[in-house]
Structure 1
Amino acid sequence: MKLFVFIFVAIFFLQAPILAIAQEVVHPEPAARISRPDAPTAQNTTNNLGQNSGAIQELYPDRETQNQPPAQQTAPAPGPEQPVTLSAAIKENGAIVPNGLIWRVFDTKTDETGQLALLFRSEEANPSLSLPPGEYVVHASYGRAQSSDALSVVVGPNFKTIILDAGALRLKSAVSNQVDIPSQQLKFDIFAEGSEGDQVPVVLNINDSELIYLNAGIYQVVSRWGNENATVKADIRVEPGQITEATLFHNAAQVSFSLVSNIGGEAIADVDWQVQNMDGQTLYTHLGAFPSAILAVGDYVVFAQSGDQVYNREFQVQAGLPVNIEVLTSVY
């Protein structure tokens, strides 16, 4: 069963401190990793990652430190401590991130577990700390966007700015420009290409319109409408310093069923329902009078068992508004 997928992508550029919609429409490069012949296309407009980002989640929290207060520093190696101030920018020559950061500073020597020793952790935007002169590793995370760099501490004040090279992604889905999908019926998954060419999960079960911060790059996005087979995929490029808003269009519809003795009649209760595709794969089961499934475009067979009698009907799903399929008992 072939699905034809279309996505609408709006990109918003960072020009602090307010969000302003630019007028230019941009067509980005086509996604390189879509394997299906019906690869999606994207239409872009632009606006900005504002200076006030909302609360975000940490991708890789330290198990031993996630319950610590916002800033905590372990005892550094002996020596005269020097002041260090940290900051992070969205991109090269970009705005400084005002909140939502998690900082870690590591020694370059491993601890007893074989890991780099964690010396400092903070959730402040511009934390200050003291370290003896020497070499360290500083790591900043901003949602799912992360960056690490070497930190050389010398005698005197030290300032380090990490370039996150980060953008953000907000996802939506619809059937068409005229038919929206209820947000509670949607979930999204984001994948990145792994070192062996496989798709590695970045974040799963994202809600509709949730803002996700990511390192710049190309990601595979999967939109799941309902729990049956209404799924579409698209590769979407996240640019540094920009919010990309993408709408994926499903070729599917919400289908309800009723077992009736005549057309337009009252639905019979206590019916055991089963929906199969034409290959015999069961996609949906339900016990009750008013089942409802979300199905991709295609041909199906519905079975309705009432008592010892089983009724069935073939039907076709077309993308669009919700439809009701009546299964008649009178034809048997």
Structure 2
Amino acid sequence: MTARITPDGAQIPDGLVWRIFDTVPDASGELALVAKSELGQATVELPPGEYVVHVAYGRAQTSDGLSVVPGSNEKSFVIDAGALRLNSAVTGDIPIPVDLLKFDIFTSGNEGDRTPVAEGLAANDIVTLNAGTYHIVSHFGSINAVVRADLRVEAGQLTDATLYHHASQVSFKLVSEAGGEAIADVEWTVKTPDGATVFTELGAFPTTVLAEGDYSVLAKQGSQVFNREFQVQPGAAREIEVLTAVY
């Protein structure tokens, strides 16, 4: 058995996982696995009969029937696969550190009908998928900077896509005067205008990522609480100073 990405493509040399199943369900109602191979060209010995072959190449896959007759049998499979490479930037082509990016890939369709295909992918990972349209979710940081897009993967092609975030990295420090040294042992809380808490941390100089919008930050040091309102706009990383006075 051999496989190709497209009908007129070259034989895939490696990276394949072949599974061959009997067509008669076992006592549990499942199709019994009768052979497996991870070679580019799989050679197995099977009694004559009917089988179902499943072949996977990355996250692309296909299944088809296989009729085995006495002697030598050959069959070629077409996986109809393409590849997708994802990255993100802040609006204005401001690069994002790759360690702050994660991507999820879902099937297309309405929100309730989508199923996960791949989750937690790093920026610039190349993912092999069946040709088709997919729903992509880009996470910048871990709070609320999220961008979604529907992308088309074409068979035999690598699709490069960059998604753009309306967000920014933000760091905080409590100071006694503008431009002063950060005060240690501060409990930080960031809230949205409706009072929802989106970030908490203990430290002198915490950093996070926030989506575009209005926020308030509270800095608790001992029994005192200092606060200020601030706005996040898409752009380079910025620093928010909170003075030891109530805003």
TM-score of the superposed pair, with normalisation by structure 1: 0.71
In the TM superposition, what is the alpha-carbon distance from 1:95 to its structure 2 partner? 2.0
Which of 161, 167, 171 aligns to 1:256? It is 171
Stretches of structure 1 that go unaligned for 5 or more consecutive residues are 1-85
Secondary structure of the 2:155 match is: coil
Q: Give CA deviations for 1:264-291 in whole Å, capped at 9, x if unaligned.
A: 1111111110001111111100111101
Decide whether the 8 Å contact of 2:105 with 2:135 is kept in 1: yes
Which of 101, 109, 125 aligns to 2:40? It is 125
Structure 1 residue aligned with 2:100: 185
In the TM superposition, what is the alpha-carbon distance from 1:178 to its structure 2 partner? 4.0
Which of 80, 85, 91 aligns to 1:165? It is 80
Structure 1 residue aligned with 2:61: 146
CA distance in 2, matches of 1:117, 1:178: 52
Structure 1 residue aligned with 2:242: 327
Q: How many residues in Structure 1 have an aligned counterpart in Structure 2?
A: 247
Decide whether the 8 Å contact of 2:226 with 2:246 is kept in 1: no
Decide whether the 8 Å contact of 1:194 with 1:200 is kept in 2: no
Structure 2 residue aligned with 1:279: 194
Q: Which runs of 4+ in 1 moved over 3 A?
A: 193-197
Structure 1 residue aligned with 2:184: 269
CA distance in 2, matches of 1:159, 1:176: 52
Structure 1 residue aligned with 2:52: 137
Which of 272, 288, 293 aligns to 2:203? It is 288
Decide whether the 8 Å contact of 2:226 with 2:245 is kept in 1: no
Decide whether the 8 Å contact of 2:92 with 2:235 is kept in 1: no
What does residue range 215-230 of structure 1 map to in structure 2 within 5 Å? 215-230=130-145
Q: What is the CA RMSD across the aligned residues, in angstroms?
A: 1.7
CA distance in 2, matches of 1:195, 1:321: 34
In the TM superposition, what is the alpha-carbon distance from 1:154 to its structure 2 partner? 2.7
Q: Give the 3 Å change call, closer, same or farther, for CA 331–151 of structure 1 in structure 2.
A: closer
Secondary structure of the 1:270 match is: coil
CA distance in 2, matches of 1:225, 1:298: 15
Q: Give the 3 Å change call, closer, same or farther, for CA 196–172 of structure 1 in structure 2.
A: closer
In the TM superposition, what is the alpha-carbon distance from 1:177 to its structure 2 partner? 5.6
TM-score of the superposed pair, with normalisation by structure 2: 0.95
CA distance in 1, matches of 2:101, 2:205: 21
CA distance in 2, matches of 1:220, 1:268: 44
Q: Give the 3 Å change call, closer, same or farther, for CA 235–178 of structure 1 in structure 2.
A: closer
In the TM superposition, what is the alpha-carbon distance from 1:197 to its structure 2 partner? 5.6
Alignment pair present for 1:205 and 2:155 = no
Q: Give the 3 Å change call, closer, same or farther, for CA 331–119 of structure 1 in structure 2.
A: closer
What does residue range 102-121 of structure 1 map to in structure 2 within 5 Å? 102-121=17-36
Residue 172 of structure 1 aligns with an amino acid whose one-letter code is N
Secondary structure of the 2:45 match is: strand
Q: Give the 3 Å change call, closer, same or farther, for CA 197–331 of structure 1 in structure 2.
A: closer
Alignment pair present for 1:243 and 2:158 = yes
In the TM superposition, what is the alpha-carbon distance from 1:293 to its structure 2 partner? 1.3
Q: Give CA deviations for 1:282-327 in whole Å, capped at 9, x if unaligned.
A: 1100111101110011110011111111111111111110111111
Q: Give CA deviations for 1:75-103 in whole Å, capped at 9, x if unaligned.
A: xxxxxxxxxxx001101222211110000
Structure 2 residue aligned with 1:101: 16
Q: Give CA deviations for 1:5-37 in whole Å, capped at 9, x if unaligned.
A: xxxxxxxxxxxxxxxxxxxxxxxxxxxxxxxxx
CA distance in 2, matches of 1:95, 1:234: 31
In the TM superposition, what is the alpha-carbon distance from 1:113 to its structure 2 partner? 2.2
